[in-house]
Structure 1
Amino acid sequence: MRKFLMAAVAAGSLFTAGSASAAVVMGELTGGSAFRNGGVFEELNPGPGFSVGRNNQQSNNLFAFNEQQGVALTAAVGGLAAGTLVNSHYVFFDPAGGRRARGYVDFDSDILGVLTTRGPLSSTDTLLGLSNVNYLNPGARGLEGNDRFSIAGNRINVDFRASSPGDFVRVLTAAPAVPEPATWAMMIGGFGLVGGALRRRRKMTTKVSYA
């Protein structure tokens, strides 16, 4: 019976993986003048009418929020081919006056690409951004020459120096593929076989008693 139970667990994990989405796990501000002036990492859940992109926050905090999940790119962008399935996240630093922020943000799946300039950011706002967020698009949107970032698996390390309008990136992480209908049918059939085998095993079990 242990083999049948293991098969059921494996099939269940396939269902879970197909419907999962990636999200911000955690982040931290670790250095820079923003950190020394009380800045922290803050994950946002933007409500209707939220605006970002042109001195809207004026905060020492490093911000991030989740955008669209499980989206197939309609065109090549950020080194990724059209059709790549991604989850999107927005990471930004919008201080009042010139500040520096060093820190990181972790996601629950690997980072595939980072959009750092105005063109790719604005061209993906509709596809990957949230419909209730107003993404402003000033000429200096994105990162500039003195900004740095690096990627290590599911982590983006940032070293941003920002004033007006701030520093903004869109982080694209790996989205699990949703099984095709035929795959769903095979998994459902597998559950049926497991159930039938367990029922037959119970019927074959006999009870022995001694007088």
Structure 2
Amino acid sequence: MRKLLQIVCLVTLALPAGALSARAGIVSGPRMIDPPAVLGRDPLGTDSFYAFYETQDHVLEQALRVDGGWIGAGTEISSQYVLYDPAQRTHHTMTIVFDAPILGVASGGRRLRRSDWLGVDGVKYKRFRDRGKEARDRYTISDDGYSITFKMRANSPGDYFRILTAARGYTPPPPPIEDDPPDTPALPEPGAALLFGAGALAVRRFARQRSR
């Protein structure tokens, strides 16, 4: 048994770093698969969420449109494609957790088409009607940005999403620096207070003498 463990450890150490982190983007949620050669209508036909990795650690040369806004040029992103393709109309809820913050989601047919250049080389992303989510489908991103929850009602041709996260080399920003406390006025030293009091008394006496 000890010899077997030693062999496993040696094999693990011999693997390149990229092999160990190749699927570190999605922590939990859908079933991870290799992408189908063709992504069209109803590519799977099963009542489960599936996902696969697309372009990873890519720096955007221009801003990318996503639901509700844009991801700015110069941002380093990773792309994940999520599929939900039940054979019959089905309700399903799924939470997907990532190891980097979610920057945006493309859930409509047009936004998926315009971001298909982030797809896997050799995979044919077909254009078809009703690609993306349906009107009653909903998703919410957690407050910390690391997970997304889908509430779906789908059947043919399925629901499809592209989730863009920060690149895997993402470093969380440091906590905000608290503002310095306001400066408090310095209290005069006891000796200075006595000198000030004596000076004020002398001024009063001088004023009285002049008034006489």
- State the TM-score bracket (shorter-chain normalisation): 0.5 to 0.7
Displacement of 1:141: 0.8
| 2:126 aligned residue | 136
Structure 1 match to 2:164: 172
4+ aligned runs moved over 4 Å, structure 1:
none
Matched to 1:139, the amino acid is R
Matches within 5 A, 1:85-104: 85-104=76-95
1:1-211 superposed matches below 5 A: 23-27=25-29, 41-46=30-35, 50-76=37-63, 77-78=65-66, 79-126=70-117, 128-152=118-142, 153-175=145-167
Normalised by the size of structure 1, how large is the TM-score? 0.63
C-alpha distance in 1, partners of 2:34/2:95?
19
Q: Where does residue 200 of structure 1 map in the other structure?
A: none
**CA RMSD in angstroms, aligned pairs only:** 2.1
Residue 159 (structure 1) shift:
0.7
- Residue 196 of structure 2 corresponds to none
Q: Which has the higher contact order (CA 8 A, sep 6+)?
A: 1
**Per-residue CA distance 1:97-142 (angstroms, 9 max, x = gap):** 211111111111110100011112111112x110132222212111
Residue 136 to residue 157, structure 1, CA distance change in 2 (3 Å): same
Q: Give ranges in structure 1 of 5+ residues lacking alignment.
A: 1-15, 28-40, 179-211
List alignment gaps of at least 5 residues for structure 2.
1-16, 171-212
Q: Is the 2:132–2:160 contact (alpha carbons within 8 Å) kept by the matching residues of 1? A: yes
- 1:122 alignment partner, SS class: helix
Which one-letter code corresponds to 2:25 in the other structure?
Answer: A
Q: Give 3-state SS (helix, strand or coil) of 1:60's partner.
A: strand
Distance in 2 between residues matched to 1:83 and 1:120, nearest whole Å? 19
Give the partner amino acid of 1:157: T
TM-score, scaled to structure 2 = 0.62
Q: Distance in 1 between matches of 2:125 and 2:166?
A: 23
Structure showing greater Rg: 2
Instruction: Give the number of the structure whose residues are more often helix, by fraction.
Output: 1
Aligned residues: 144
